[in-house]
């Protein structure tokens, strides 16, 4: 969709979500933003209002199915949603002594259930209108399981495949869907990494890539290209060739 006027962004209080909110903000645009940190979320909203955009905010946990459904339906009833960017996510790995069950379940609840909780409350109205666009935030980490972040990789792989399948399912109903697969992007999530991050991108640059991809209804928006190529090759190689190398890779805290 080239010029969405009513946009929902989850995980908008920092990182790519905040950058996308600021990028899309303009006179005549209505933004509905949610995140976990009320102070950071309101700072983003203030910036967006300064450009002339209308902004509503809510502090909602993406993993809370009922709260998300209530909020999204109220947003859509007030201003029918053109574009949903399901961006909310959390990250953690095995670098501090292994991944606990609690950590794994929380990552999957936010990253996977949070996507479902964002998409499904809006789908009936989009279907009834015969238009709309959905963007799901996956990751290049979803192409090959990495020992340093099992649950994170699993959650992003599920989001990627779910989105690719749902795109085909919705195409005949006038609803566009894109899966976003970033590499390393500067954010609070990557700031804790204690290892080199190849081709680390600035957040604003990543947001611009995403917006261009959504404007042309790209099926998959993967970046930066050198990381896309490296991950594609890694996913093609037999695990017997790559397991030893990946076991030696740095672990995410």
**Which residues, listed in sequence order, are joined to residue 185 by a DSSP beta bridge?**
201
Q: Residue 137 — φ and ψ, nearest 5°?
A: -90, 105
Other C-beta atoms closer than 10 Å to the C-beta of 3 total 11
- Burial of residue 179 (CB within 10 Å: 0-12, 13-18, 19+) is buried
Do 23 and 77 form a contact (C-beta atoms < 8 A)?
A: no
- Which residues, other chains included, contact 199 with Cβ-Cβ below 8 Å and sequence gap of 6+? 183, 184, 224, 226, 227
Helix axes 150-170, 101-108, angle to 10 degrees: 20
Residue with tokens 């700072």: 43
Do 63 and 113 form a contact (C-beta atoms < 8 A)?
A: yes
Q: Residue 210 — φ and ψ, nearest 5°?
A: -65, -45
Read off the tokens for 6.
Answer: 């009513």
Residues with a catalytic annotation lie at 152
- Which residues, other chains included, contact 191 with Cβ-Cβ below 8 Å and sequence gap of 6+? none
- Which residues, other chains included, contact 125 with Cβ-Cβ below 8 Å and sequence gap of 6+? 73, 76, 80, 81, 132
């Amino acid at each position: 969709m080239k010029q969405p006027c009513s946009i929902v962004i989850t995980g908008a209080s920092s990182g790519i979500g905040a950058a996308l909110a600021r990028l899309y903000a303009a006179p005549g645009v209505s933004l509905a933003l949610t995140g976990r940190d009320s102070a950071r979320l309101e700072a983003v909203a203030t910036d967006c209002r300064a450009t002339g955009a209308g902004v509503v905010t809510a502090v909602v946990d993406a993993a809370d199915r009922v709260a998300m459904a209530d909020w999204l339906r109220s947003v859509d009833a007030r201003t029918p949603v053109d574009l949903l960017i399901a961006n909310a996510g959390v990250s953690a790995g095995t670098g501090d002594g292994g991944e606990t069950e609690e950590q794994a379940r929380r990552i999957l609840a936010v990253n996977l259930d949070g996507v479902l909780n964002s998409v499904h409350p809006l789908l009936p109205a989009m279907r009834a209108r015969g238009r709309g666009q959905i963007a799901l935030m996956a990751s290049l980490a979803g192409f090959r399981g990495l020992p340093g972040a099992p649950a994170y990789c699993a959650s992003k792989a599920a989001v990627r495949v779910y989105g690719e399948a749902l795109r085909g399912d919705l195409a005949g109903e006038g609803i566009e869907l894109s899966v976003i697969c970033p590499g390393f992007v500067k954010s609070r999530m990557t700031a804790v990494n204690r290892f080199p991050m190849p081709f680390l991108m600035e957040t604003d640059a990543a947001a611009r890539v995403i917006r261009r991809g959504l404007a042309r209804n790209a099926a998959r928006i993967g970046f930066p290209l050198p990381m896309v190529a490296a991950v594609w090759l890694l996913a093609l190689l037999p695990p017997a060739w790559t397991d030893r190398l990946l076991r030696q890779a740095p672990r995410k805290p």
